A and B are shown apart, each in its own frame.
Chain A
């Protein structure tokens, strides 16, 4: 069962975020470097799930962080800092997607990388990974983004709605349809995962 939110921890998190924002507004380069490194990891996955061209992923990331740097003093704190940053990245990624012909076409298949001498267990794990990857890739980017923000980033549906600029109910139904499609694609293989 879920535990009730820890009030003390959320207070500490809010305080830490307020301190960080203050440092960023004061143009503290060390603070921004920490933010840059933190979100380099987070946004790698987030943007990479929308655009599968490494160079474009990197460009979108850099453009996102540039906006964060330029606009941090305008950030009013109406949402969490992470929500604001994801929202910027989401809009940048959508814009970048519109400029490239096929955002997810140049990925290498896992089969190409499989070595002949792998154990059967490793082979099976790779096969399942590939099935899941293909299932994720088969989702629309809106559905994939909701899955990503929920499972990987652990964001509340209200935060996701804010990032994607859509109603809360749209987030819920996108997640519902994404899960249904994933389960359908995985079929009996879902039982093999754990």
Chain B
């Protein structure tokens, strides 16, 4: 072997061998490697060794964790994401927002309502409804002994009414999400990611119905299993700051 070939062995060619073996080199690189290994026995042997190493590594993946398919839940998250995006775009584009239908309570829209609704009675009613809901939701973490049938029931009545009657409010409505009634209201640590929420809910046979609303609360439906036990597990999660039953069956 010439000195020049030895230098190549130490540097450029050897560095390229993994991609040569993987079939991922461009023409010039292929030519460089093939010209060299046709003359250099040690690098030729190195190619053979590299093939073995690659085959060994590739064959050794039996116990790699496979992410379970959770498309349906993930699709709901996409709908939420799109709704947020659309809401933001709508907010930017429109200075004047049409008033909602008379039978609809727009839960998160006090600011928008102030701009567009001229009827003081309607405005007052909406503001009071939102304030009542916010106070009830926010006060729950400090009053864990409150039974679902007490203050939370009032809140849930407002929220349930809103989510069922107002197709615009339910953030999942555009994605034809599960329209069945939520049975839990949750608030989360602001640092919790969508992926983490998705994982948490799917692990407990629960699914997101809508949210977040103006109080950063999520409406969730526990779909199977022991309702109380599941609710307890959700409450025990480190990123769940509130999980309360509403309309529990």
Binding site for B on A (CB under 8 A): 1-5, 27, 29, 32-33, 36-37, 40-41, 43-45, 47-49, 52, 54-55, 57-63, 65-66, 69-70, 110, 128-129, 132-133, 136, 147, 150-152, 154-157, 172-173, 175-176, 179, 182-183, 186, 190, 193-194
Q: B20 contacts A173, CB within 8 Å?
A: no
Verify if B54 is at the interface (C-beta below 8 Å from A). yes
Q: How far is the CB of B32 from chain A (nearest CB, A)?
A: 12
CB of B79, distance to nearest CB on chain A (Å):
10
A41 to B54, CA, bound (A): 19
* Cα separation A152 to B17 with both chains bound (whole Å): 15
Chain B residues, Cβ within 8 Å of A2? 20, 23, 25, 30, 34
Is there contact, CB below 8 Å, between A61 and B19?
Answer: no
Stretch at the interface among B66-74, B100-108, B120-128: B66-74
- Residues in chain A near residue B25, CB distance under 8 A: 2, 156
Question: Any chain A CB within 8 A of the CB of B238?
Answer: no
CA distance A43 to B69 in the complex (A): 12
B52 touches A58 (CB 8 A): no
9 tightest A-B CB contacts, nearest first = A62-B195, A59-B195, A172-B15, A63-B195, A193-B56, A44-B67, A156-B24, A54-B65, A132-B60
Q: Is B199 in the interface zone, CB < 8 Å from A?
A: yes
Please tell me which one of the listed residues B54, B63, B193 contacts residue A59 in the complex, with CB atoms under 8 A apart.
B193
Contact partners of A62 in chain B: CB under 8 A: 70, 74, 77, 193-195, 198-199
Query: When the two chains form their complex, are residues B68 and A58 in contact, meaning their CB atoms are under 8 A apart?
Result: yes
Does B53 contact A182, Cβ atoms closer than 8 Å? yes
Q: Is the CB of B195 within 8 A of A129?
A: no
Complex CA–CA separation, A43 to B198 (angstroms): 17
